[in-house]
A = this chain, B = another copy of it.
Amino acid sequence: MSQVVEVIGKQFGRWLSAVGPEAGIVLSSRIRLARNLLNAVFAHKGSAEEQGTVVNVVKSAVERSAALHDMSFIDMTRLDPLETRFLMERYAISKEMATGTGERALMLNGDQTVSLMINEEDHVRIQSLQSGLMLQEAWRLANAVDDELGKRLDFAFSGIWGYLTACPTNMGTGLRASVMIHLPALIMTRRIASAVQGVSRVGCTVRGLHGEGTEMLGDFFQVSNQATLGQDEEELIANVERVSGELISQEKRAREVLLGENERQMHDRVGRALGILKGARILGLEETMSLLSALRLGVCLGLVSEYSVGRINELMIQVQPAHLTVRAGHDLDPLEIDSLRADIAQKSFSSR
């Protein structure tokens, strides 16, 4: 286990702690900025040497900035598949970064709220993650990192097109504002399809937890802006904020309806979820996420009082396969994975 991954592994990012606004419905807010160096070919076109140069140039720029002093450097080429998967389960790196090849690196600050991916799709992806609906704070942080780096790096920028990116869909601001949102009541009341359609009509997209092409687990969705140009950063962020606010309102109404019309059923759903989490000895990932989703809803509705949303957020990460394997300290077969997951659930909930 790489030393840096080990350090990160010991503590969850502050963004998981459910301290932000609307944390009962919004897991986290993220701002990502795509940047490329003026005098280097795009990452996927570069030779290993050219890619290595980009990594070194960016790393050095970060290290020379006093404001970015607490960022650790992780050379992705030195990680084994388990460590890579572990970082992805933490949302520290993207799926593309995890599955990619070539010289690439991650830089991450102490409380895991700011990270840089070097040579993911673009030379630099600046990312800030915050708890709850906190796009403004995430934007403030990402923007500050961008300004710091901009002092020492020449980013490819066109007066007409804005920031140039490896994929044209990121051109302009290079900004992706996204909100991870928990919508179990909209699913239970079968209003999710029309809610998602509404989102698409106003320039936003809805995806799975790890972005494009990933599955939705535990009733979580990722809402983000579709276009990255034609509007400035503040306008793009305001739109995602507005759309998220609308989804939050709809989810709240649905929760009220469920509690008002079917209180016993809601208690039943939450009680069964907790009963299975405590009693099962084998738990698959999908089922566990769905049980944790029901429990999270129950905690938010005040139907269960012994557990916190923050703890459930952390468990959603701890029950992922790479986290389980790291915890065991050796490779696990599928039954062992599901058994350890059940052991952790039992320990987490039984003693209360």
Contacts and interface: CB of A to CB of B under 8 A. Distances in A.
Of A264, A265, A339, which is in contact with the most chain B CB atoms at under 10 Å from its CB? A264
A278 B281 contact: no
A275 interface: yes
Nearest to A303: B281
Interface residues of A, number: 19
Interface in A1-34: none
Interface in A260-300: 264-265, 267-268, 271-282
Number of copies of this chain that the complex holds: 2
Nearest to A346: B271
A271 B277 CA distance: 10
Interface in A309-348: 335, 339, 342
Contact of A276 (B265, B267, B272, B342): B272
A264 to B, nearest CB: 6
A264 B276 contact: no
Contacts of A267: 281
Contacts of A268: 280-282, 342
A303 to B, nearest CB: 10
A220 B335 CA distance: 31
Interface in A38-54: none
Contact of A280 (B272, B280, B281): B272
A274 B279 contact: yes
Which one of A273, A275, A342 has the highest number of Cβ atoms from chain B below 10 Å of its Cβ?
A: A275
A198 B281 CA distance: 35
A351 to B, nearest CB: 15
Interface of A: 264-265, 267-268, 271-282, 335, 339, 342
Given A276-B279, A278-B278, 20 more contacts: A264-B281, A264-B335, A264-B339, A265-B282, A267-B281, A268-B281, A268-B282, A268-B342, A271-B279, A271-B280, A272-B276, A272-B279, A272-B280, A273-B279, A274-B275, A275-B275, A275-B276, A275-B279, A275-B280, A276-B276
